[in-house]
Amino acid sequence: MLITISGLPGSGKTTVARLVAEQLGLEHVYAGDIFRRQAAARGLSLEEYARRAETDHSIDRALDEQMRARAAQDEAVLEGRLAAFMADAAGRRALKVFLDAPESVRAERIVAREGGAAEARLQETQAREASDARRYQEIYGFDYHDRGRYDLVLSTDGRSPEELAREIVAAARARFGP
């Protein structure tokens, strides 16, 4: 069973993916952790490494190769903005989920998680999303915001992570069996 959980920053991907993995007894493979480990291995802060990734596409390709390899071999919950694309690239049947929330809600969540002022976080989030969208279009030629690739597109606004996880688990069991 392979489940991919994608979405925009602050949409609740990590929280929901952890819950789904726990409920199904699967490993949670998180692209953000892999990216952070890569940055640390190079002695760079996350921000420095992300800036470097804007022009050095080998950074994205290395992360993607690890995610694709995990998708090809593992029964897991694969979390990351490009997780659905990596499952497709690995030729794996997966339940592909996209989580979304209004921009203001996502900015509030990022402030709660990382601190800072809401308006500044909103601007940072918008800049990050635009940068990522450009990079993914440049490298892969696709728009990761395209909801047509996903089996489930869920708004996380006003819904608890537990409720969302239950819905995803039910969909996974319906697709793959108990």
**Least confidently predicted of 21-25, 48-52, 167-171:** 48-52
Q: Average model confidence (pLDDT) for the chain?
A: 89
Give the confidence band of 20 by pLDDT, cuts at 50, 70, 90: very high
Strand partners, 16: none
List the CATH number of the domain containing 16.
Answer: 3.40.50.300
d(CA 108, CA 127): 16
d(CA 140, CA 177): 33
Residue 178 has pLDDT above 80, yes or no: no
**118 inside domain:** no
Strand partners, 166: none
Cut 0.85: pTM above it: yes
**9 inside domain:** yes
**Count of CB atoms within 10 A of residue 17's CB?**
30
Structural domain including 12 reads 2-101+149-176
**Least confidently predicted of 26-30, 50-54, 124-128:** 124-128
Token pair for residue 48?
């420095």
Structural domain tally of the chain?
Answer: 1
Give the confidence band of 175 by pLDDT, cuts at 50, 70, 90: very high
d(CA 49, CA 16): 26
